[in-house]
Amino acid sequence: MDNKDRKKNISVAVDGPSGSGKSTLSRAAAKELSLVYVDTGAIYRTTALHILRQGADPRDAAAAAALLPEVGITLSYDAAGMQRMCLNGEDVTELIRTQEVSMVASAVSAYPVVRAFLLEMQRELARRHSVIMDGRDIGTVVLPGADVKIFLTAGSEIRARRRWLELRERGTPRDWEQLLQETRERDEKDANRAESPLRPAADSVLLDTSELDFSQSLERIIEIIRERTGS
Ligand code: DC
């Protein structure tokens, strides 16, 4: 990326654990500030779905790696600005939201070969558009030069509760205890993996949403972006 391109496009990196409100808040901030929202978790989930469908063992890095050349991912946006994911031409936007895919995505995203495979796709999106990109390593690895870096957190019980409510609303309720345990397991895996572990970039702004409602969190995020970009 040369300086000319860097000037043209704004990039906002939003990292944090699942359930911290990254996606909903980033999508809303993107709308307010006319940025393209990129949900990188959905990219990992789409890759995981392919691996799952092929019946490969997600604990087997070599088996996952062997399937990567078959993974063709495209992103598009519908009229409401929602990111849609296509896997080899099939719209899988809803299919990647199951708990099974969440667990496989968490496992396969730990493999350097999977991360390397998806890295350039994410960078290319930021070269082409002014983005707000959410994930785990956006501020540290994908866009280390991002104009704004925000690290969103919330307590694990609060995040599990948000997910529990979301699944119930979607008509796929889950057992609370099990969901809480899975949330903690996933946190542990995402934070302790050797490759791109979840951690705040040194120059990120930390925002804990445990005590904030949606509109308070959004207001704060927009404030941070405006302060840092002078927009
Ligand atoms: O945010 P999410 O729950 O949709 O992410 C799904 C999984 O993908 C999650 O376990 C962590 C992983 N992920 C990642 O490793 N790096 C990213 N930039 C985004 C997601």
Q: State the average pLDDT over residues 179-189.
A: 90
Could you tell me the CA-to-CA distances from 141 to 9, 49, 113, 144, 181 in Å, in that order? Answer: 18, 24, 14, 6, 28
Task: Tell me the CA–centroid distance for residue 4 and ligand 1, in Å.
Answer: 31
Q: Give the closest residue to 190 by CA, choosing from 9, 10, 18.
A: 18
Residue whose CA is at the smallest distance from ligand 1 atom 20? 41
pLDDT for residue 215: 96
Is the beta carbon of 46 within 6 A of some atom in ligand 1?
no
Could you tell me the CA-to-CA distances from 159 to 30, 181, 185 in Å, in that order? Answer: 22, 12, 13
Dist CA 12 CA 26 (whole Å): 9
Percent of the chain at pLDDT > 70 equals 97
Q: How confident is the model at residue 49 (pLDDT cuts 50, 70, 90)?
A: very high
Is the beta carbon of 20 within 6 A of some atom in ligand 1?
no
Q: How confident is the model at residue 117 (pLDDT cuts 50, 70, 90)?
A: very high
